[in-house]
Amino acid sequence: MAEILKVNQLHKYFDEQHVVRGISFSLNKGEIGCLLGPSGCGKTTLLRCIAGLELLSSGSISINGLEVNRHSYVAPEKRRIGMVFQDNALFPHLTVEGNIKFGLEHQSYENKKNIVKNLLKTVGLTENAGKYPHELSGGQQQRVALARALAPEPRLLLLDEPFSNLDVDLRESLSTEVRSILKRFSITALMVTHNQIEAFAMADQVGIISNGQMEQWDSSYEVYHRPATAAVAKFVGEGVLIQGKASSNGSIDCALGSLKPSTEVPPDSYQNILVRPEDIAIEESGPLKAMVAERHFRGANILYTLSLDSGEKILALAESHKAHTLGERIAFRLVMNHVVLFPMSNDV
Amino acid sequence: MSATNEVGEFREQNSIFRSFRTFRWNAPGWIVISFLLALIATTPVLVILSSYFFPEEDIWQHLVENVLQGLALNTLKLLACVIPLTALLGISMGWLTSACEYPGRRFFSWALVLPFAVPPYVYAFVYLGIFDFSGPVQGLIRESFPSVGFIDIRNTAGVSIILSLAFYPYVYLMSRSAFLTQGRSSMEAARMLGQTPIGAFFRVALPMARPWIAAGLLLVAMETLADFGAVAIFNYDTFTTAIYKAWFGMFSLNAALQLSSILVVFVLIILVLEQHFRFRMRFNETYTAAVPHQRLHLNGLKKWLAFITSLMIFFFAFALPFSQLIIWSWSNLNSDALQYLEQALNTFVLGAVTAAVTTLCAIIIAYSKQSNPGLTMKWNARLATLGYALPGTVLAVGIYIPAAWLDNQLLNIFTGITGSRINPLLQGSLIILIVAYAIRFLAAGFGSIDSSMNRITPSIVEAARTMGTTGTALLKRIYLPMTKTGLLTASIFVLVDVMKEMPITLMMRPFNWDTLAVKIFEYTSEGEWELAALPAVGLILTGLLPVLFLTKKTEE
DSSP per-residue string spanning B52-115: TTS--HHHHHHIIIIIHHHHHHHHHHHHHHHHHHHHHHHHHHHHHHHHEE-TTHHHHHHHTTGG
B74 domain-assigned? yes
If asked whether residues A28 and A141 sit together in one domain, one would say: yes
One-letter identity of residue B310: S
> Quick one: which H or E segment has residue A305?
strand A301-307
A191 domain-assigned? yes
B321 domain-assigned? no
A312 domain-assigned? yes
Parallel/antiparallel/unpaired status of strands A288-297 and A205-210? unpaired
B54 domain-assigned? no
If asked whether residues A83 and A197 sit together in one domain, one would say: yes
For B415, B422, B479, B510, the CA distances from B408, given in Å and listed in that order, are 10, 11, 42, 18
How many beta-carbon pairs under 8 angstroms link A with B?
A: 81
Contact B192 A87 (CB under 8 A): no
B163 domain-assigned? yes
pLDDT in tens, A136-179: 998 899 999 999 999 999 999 999 999 888 888 888 888 889 99
Q: What is the DSSP letter of B290?
A: P
* pLDDT in the model for residue B295: 80
If asked whether residues A218 and A335 sit together in one domain, one would say: no
For A116, A214, B178, B294, B490, the CA distances from B185, given in Å and listed in that order, are 22, 26, 14, 10, 35
Average pLDDT for B489-507: 90
> Which residues 6+ apart lie within 8 Å of A318 measured at CB?
A282, A301, A302, A304, A324
CATH no. for residue B105? 1.10.3720.10
Q: Closest chain A residue to B182 measured between Cα atoms?
A: A89
Report which of B525, B490, B480 is spatially closest to residue B506, judged by C-alpha positions: B525
Residue B554 pLDDT class (50, 70, 90 cuts): low
* pLDDT in the model for residue A346: 55
Domain final position from A234, A269, A299: A234
Q: Does A71 touch chain B (CB under 8 A)?
A: no
Q: Based on the structure, what is the number of domains in chain B?
A: 1
Distance from the Cα of residue A287 to its chain's centroid: 37
Q: Picking from A235-244, B5-14, B351-360, which range would have the lowest pLDDT averaged per residue? A: B5-14
Q: Closest chain B residue to A84 measured between Cα atoms?
A: B189
* pLDDT in the model for residue B336: 66
Q: Does A162 touch chain B (CB under 8 A)?
A: no
Q: What is the DSSP letter of B201?
A: I
* pLDDT in the model for residue A257: 87
Domain final position from A211, A234, A257: A234
If asked whether residues A24 and A129 sit together in one domain, one would say: yes
A173 domain-assigned? yes
Contact A76 B191 (CB under 8 A): yes
* pLDDT in the model for residue B311: 97
**Cβ contacts of A18-22, under 8 Å, gap ≥ 24:** A18/A212, A19/A45, A19/A212, A20/A45, A20/A46, A20/A49, A20/A56, A20/A212, A21/A211, A21/A212, A21/A213, A22/A59, A22/A213
Report which of B351, B346, B342 is spatially closest to residue B496, judged by C-alpha positions: B351
pLDDT in tens, B381-413: 989 998 888 999 999 999 999 998 998 888 888
Contact B207 A76 (CB under 8 A): no
Which of A76, A89, A132 comes nearest B283 by C-beta? A132
Residues of chain B above pLDDT 90, percent: 39
* pLDDT in the model for residue B415: 84
Q: What is the C-alpha separation between A216 and A229, in angstroms, rounded?
A: 8
If asked whether residues A183 and A36 sit together in one domain, one would say: yes
Tell me the DSSP string of A183-247: HHTT--EEEEES-HHHHHHH-SEEEEEETTEEEEEEEHHHHHHS-SSHHHHHHSSS-EEEEEEE-
Which of B3, B185, B204 comes nearest A85 by C-beta? B185
Q: Is B392 left (phi over 0), alpha (psi -120 to 50) or beta?
A: alpha
Q: What is the C-alpha separation between B533 and B218, in angstroms, rounded?
A: 31
A62 forms beta bridges with: A6, A67
Q: What is the C-alpha separation between A49 and A65, in angstroms, rounded?
A: 17
Structural domain range at position B379: 24-49+61-286+339-555
A348 domain-assigned? no
If asked whether residues A221 and A313 sit together in one domain, one would say: no
Contact A102 B190 (CB under 8 A): yes
Torsion from C-alpha of A56, A59, A62, A65, nearest 10 degrees: 160
If asked whether residues A102 and A122 sit together in one domain, one would say: yes
Residues of chain B above pLDDT 70, percent: 91
B56 domain-assigned? no
Structural domain range at position A153: 3-234
* pLDDT in the model for residue A70: 67
If asked whether residues A249 and A219 sit together in one domain, one would say: no
Contact A134 B192 (CB under 8 A): no
For residue B185, list chain A residues with Cβ-Cβ distance below 8 A: 85-87, 89
Residue B372 pLDDT class (50, 70, 90 cuts): confident
Average pLDDT for A53-80: 87
A97 domain-assigned? yes
Contact A77 B191 (CB under 8 A): yes
Residue A8 pLDDT class (50, 70, 90 cuts): very high
Residue A206 Cα, gap to closest chain B Cα (Å):
24
Whether the predicted pLDDT of B375 surpasses 70: yes
Q: What is the C-alpha separation between A115 and A128, in angstroms, rounded?
A: 15
If asked whether residues A149 and A242 sit together in one domain, one would say: no
Residue B13 pLDDT class (50, 70, 90 cuts): very low
Contact A77 B192 (CB under 8 A): yes
Report which of B361, B349, B350 is spatially closest to residue B487, judged by C-alpha positions: B361
Q: Based on the structure, what is the number of domains in chain A?
A: 2
Parallel/antiparallel/unpaired status of strands A17-28 and A257-259? unpaired
Q: Is B290 left (phi over 0), alpha (psi -120 to 50) or beta?
A: beta
Report which of B22, B26, B3 is spatially closest to residue B14, judged by C-alpha positions: B22
Which of B192, B203, B294 comes nearest A51 by C-beta? B192
* pLDDT in the model for residue B335: 62
Whether the predicted pLDDT of B528 surpasses 90: no
A211 domain-assigned? yes
B296 forms beta bridges with: B100
Buried b (16+ CB within 10 A) or exposed e, B207-222: bbbbbbbbbbbbbbbb
For residue B284, list chain A residues with Cβ-Cβ distance below 8 A: 92-93
If asked whether residues A337 and A230 sit together in one domain, one would say: no
Domain final position from A218, A234, A250: A234
Q: What is the C-alpha separation between B224 and B221, in angstroms, rounded?
A: 5
Q: Model ipTM?
A: 0.81
Q: Sign of torsion, CA B16 B22 B27 B33?
A: positive
Q: Is B369 exposed, middle or buried (0-12, 13-18, 19+ CB in 10 A)?
A: buried
pLDDT in tens, B259-296: 898 899 988 898 888 888 877 776 666 544 455 557 88
Average pLDDT for B93-100: 91
Q: What is the mean pLDDT of chain B?
A: 85
Residue B90 Cα, gap to closest chain A Cα (Å):
21
For A97, A138, B188, B268, the CA distances from A50, given in Å and listed in that order, are 27, 26, 13, 53
Give the 3-state DSSP-derived string for B416-485, with helices as H, strands as E and coil as C.
HHHCCCCCCCCCCCHHHHHHHHHHHHHHHHHHHHHHHHHCCCHHHHHHHHHCCCCHHHHHHHHHHHHHHH
If asked whether residues A174 and A308 sit together in one domain, one would say: no
